[in-house]
Structure 1
Amino acid sequence: MGTSSPATPSPVQAQPAAALTGRPTTPARVALVGVHGFGTHHLRNLERLQEAGVVDLVAVADPQPPEPGSVPETAAAFPGLAELLTDTPDLDVIIVATPIQTHAPLGLAVLETSADLYLEKPPVASLADFDALLDAAAASGRAVQIGFQSLGSHALAAIGELVADGTIGILEGISATGRWVRPRAYYTRSRWAGKRSIDGIDVVDGVATNPLAHAVATALRIAGARTKADVASVETDLYRANDIESDDTSVVRIRTATGLPITCALTICASESVEPYVTLQGSAGTAVFHYTEDRLVVTTAEGQSETTFGRDDLTENLIAHRGGDAKLISPIADSGAFMLVLEAIRTAPAPTRIAPEYIRWEGVGGQANAVVVGIEDALERAATGHATFSELGLPWANHS
């Protein structure tokens, strides 16, 4: 198996496992489905937690065997979840870090067991599958944590406080900006990469739904948009520079139920990778959250401050929740707002191909990457003005 989030950078080191309040005396029995791609991050994290006595990784599943030494000798290896479940009773937590299109069937299978579920982002590839998984979670009574790791940042509480106390004045809008570089090899690494669907099965592997999905999810959480009811509308403006089905350069404009605009301007066709950030636009200042670094920069008339925060690990949080000592940080119901964004992208017309004269290729072979000419300025203008590429009148964009 692959993973749903190979492009997501590893988060800042979480707080030490020993600090987990109310930690059970018996380690949680954990299984990991998907040990390659982003699954390797989970293996490293589970090794840390196992050394701390928080978990016992008892089994893994992947059609491609794990790399030698990457899995504890005490953990059994299986080719798939079905075989793992047949031979591994009494699991406490099952982590699913597999290709996007497998999330729904694997998640539903886990919820038929007595284990709680950690499901990598995006949760599933359609709103219908999300609703089915949400219903199954409710019926089973099991906890479901969605792997939006950035939501574990302690900066989010500080952001909530500065908005509430008026530090930056009245919150007028939120934007998310992401500029990454991904070579051709990124799209040839697996059959599902860059696909909208495979054999009629939804995949929706676009810039806003997979590599920079955390930018969207973090902006939504800061805006207080968690469930489907918290979102009034979603507009999409989708493009592709690479020879793929999905979008790699896009604007997604969201309006919350309270009328707050959220604009996500994202690309993986930049000239250089920059840490993505979410900007709170206030009447008396701004707050910029660099979510992969847990770093918050606040600017007002009084000056500028910068603070780096800690982060709670979502696997530890799920285990603490099982013991009744913590509220889930990223429960499945709180992904409803994000799923409305994914659904809007899934049902939108195919992304517009950017004309070759507006694309510059850097590098050679599989390491060559497309750069949309002037994309940095376009992203800044879109985010600042809450405008789509089309509304900006960019020469490669659709014009109504």
Structure 2
Amino acid sequence: MTTTFAVLGIHGYGRYHLAEIARLQAEGLAEVVAVADPRGADGAEHLPAGVPCYADLDELLAHVVPDVVTLATPIHTHAPLAITALRAGAHVLVEKPTTATLAELTELVQTSQETGRVVQVGFQSFGSHAYPEIQRLVESGTIGELTGLGGVGTWSRALSYYQRSRWAGTRVLDGVPVVDGVVTNPLAHCVATALKIAGAPRAEDVASVDLELYHAHDIEADDTSSVRVTTTAGTRLTFGLTLAGPGHTPPTIIVQGTRGELVFSYTDDRLWTRTADGETQTRFERTGMLRNLVEHLTEGVPLLAPAEDTGAFMRVLEAVRTAPDPAPVDPAYVTWLGEGDESYPVIADIETWCARAAAEHKLFSELGAPWAGPRG
């Protein structure tokens, strides 16, 4: 059985959707029947010849209703486009973050249930085959009693990153929530992955969220933040995340125990086990979200990232959205590197502050970072 797809947003991340569908098509599993992008199809990568390109979803649905609509569109369009596709009779794969508000997620899940159509979210790390091994190691007592989880992400972003679109780096655009900050978009996987490992994927699994939001770039949203989440089971998860680091280091989740720790590099599916007996490293495969969705529709395989299992992450997003505006980092602690549109800021010792936040379960101001103060 061939699953038909329509792809929205083909000049951004949607090109990866097209590439993955092409691989599935080579196996006789999928076919692109339409795409939509206001910029048209010129220059689009991996777009099969003869596939019609429409200006928007409404025009596309007037001609064809595919089995699946994939959305690689601006954050604030996720909910309305996904709901439109569901009501038309299509299943949906939507890129992260699932929606721009927690209320939109609730509406999206309700619409999915009402229409009998599913929503898969593009949290690619959820497809890692490392999860069962992490669960086994924790439950076997290999690292002793679980004491918490930490997340560290230290990336850099140039000025050009925030110049690519009107919504980049905004909290609100034309009166509509966007929430395009480090916690909720570029390093969203760090937060969502840790919550999944902690066994707390849904909104009702989160008891509280404490956070501090800052920016080194001249943007509205946060590019450097510390976040502490407490689950209803009492587990603490603390994150130090920045886009103002000196480079692009693979982000990690640290599963902390009384006898050791697990370190999961979720972008390349590597897992380190560190105890008094030594250190081991294992590399895992992963299943893509589109492949998993096809297998769900054709074989009944469970979804890896159903929308409702991003509820805990959306609780964090909602805390970010409703928090006071991020505070600018004092320029005295920021060094700009590079030239022109490719220049980028680096906050002094930010890698250390992020690592300490995750290890000590403290926000930046609680650690004494000289540029930090409580923000929410």
Deviation at 1:69, TM superposition (A): 5.6
Residue deviations 1:289-348 (CA, integer Å, cap 9, x gap): 000000000011111110000101111111111124300000011011010000000000
**Alpha carbons 2:15, 2:44 under 8 Å: kept:** no
Residue deviations 1:125-145 (CA, integer Å, cap 9, x gap): 011111111111111111110
Q: Secondary structure at the match of 1:380?
A: helix
> What root-mean-square deviation, in Å, do the aligned CA atoms of Structure 1 and Structure 2 show?
1.1
Deviation at 1:122, TM superposition (A): 0.2
1:73 matches 2:49: yes
Structure 2 counterparts to residues 128-143 of structure 1, below 5 A: 128-143=103-118
Cα separation, 1, equivalents of 2:23 and 2:233: 42
Cα separation, 2, equivalents of 1:372 and 1:102: 32
Residue deviations 1:257-283 (CA, integer Å, cap 9, x gap): 110000011001001110001000011
Q: Give the match for residue 6 of structure 1.
A: none
Cα separation, 1, equivalents of 2:199 and 2:120: 18
Q: Secondary structure at the match of 1:159?
A: helix
**Alpha carbons 1:58, 1:74 under 8 Å: kept:** no
**Alpha carbons 1:393, 1:399 under 8 Å: kept:** no
Structure 2 counterparts to residues 1-400 of structure 1, below 5 A: 26-66=1-41, 67=43, 70-89=46-65, 91-398=66-373
Cα separation, 1, equivalents of 2:282 and 2:188: 24
**Which TM-score applies when normalising by structure 1?**
0.92
Residue deviations 1:206-233 (CA, integer Å, cap 9, x gap): 0010000000110000001111111110
| Unmatched runs of 5 consecutive residues or more in structure 2 | none
Q: Secondary structure at the match of 1:272?
A: coil
Residue deviations 1:95-145 (CA, integer Å, cap 9, x gap): 111000100110110110221111110011011111111111111111110
Cα separation, 1, equivalents of 2:196 and 2:98: 16
Deviation at 1:62, TM superposition (A): 0.4
Cα separation, 2, equivalents of 1:253 and 1:165: 26
Cα separation, 2, equivalents of 1:306 and 1:134: 38
**Which TM-score applies when normalising by structure 2?**
0.98
Q: Secondary structure at the match of 1:122?
A: coil
Q: Which runs of 4+ in 1 moved over 6 A?
A: none
Cα separation, 2, equivalents of 1:378 and 1:181: 15
Q: Secondary structure at the match of 2:12?
A: coil
**Alpha carbons 1:264, 1:383 under 8 Å: kept:** yes
Q: Secondary structure at the match of 2:111?
A: helix
Deviation at 1:74, TM superposition (A): 3.2
Cα separation, 1, equivalents of 2:369 and 2:251: 22
Residue deviations 1:216-260 (CA, integer Å, cap 9, x gap): 110000001111111110111100000000000001110011100
Deviation at 1:399, TM superposition (A): 5.5
Cα separation, 1, equivalents of 2:231 and 2:95: 25
Cα separation, 2, equivalents of 1:117 and 1:35: 16
Q: Secondary structure at the match of 2:137?
A: helix
The one-letter code of the counterpart of 1:70 is H
Cα separation, 2, equivalents of 1:77 and 1:50: 19
Percent identity of the aligned residues? 47
Between Structure 1 and Structure 2, how many residues are aligned? 374
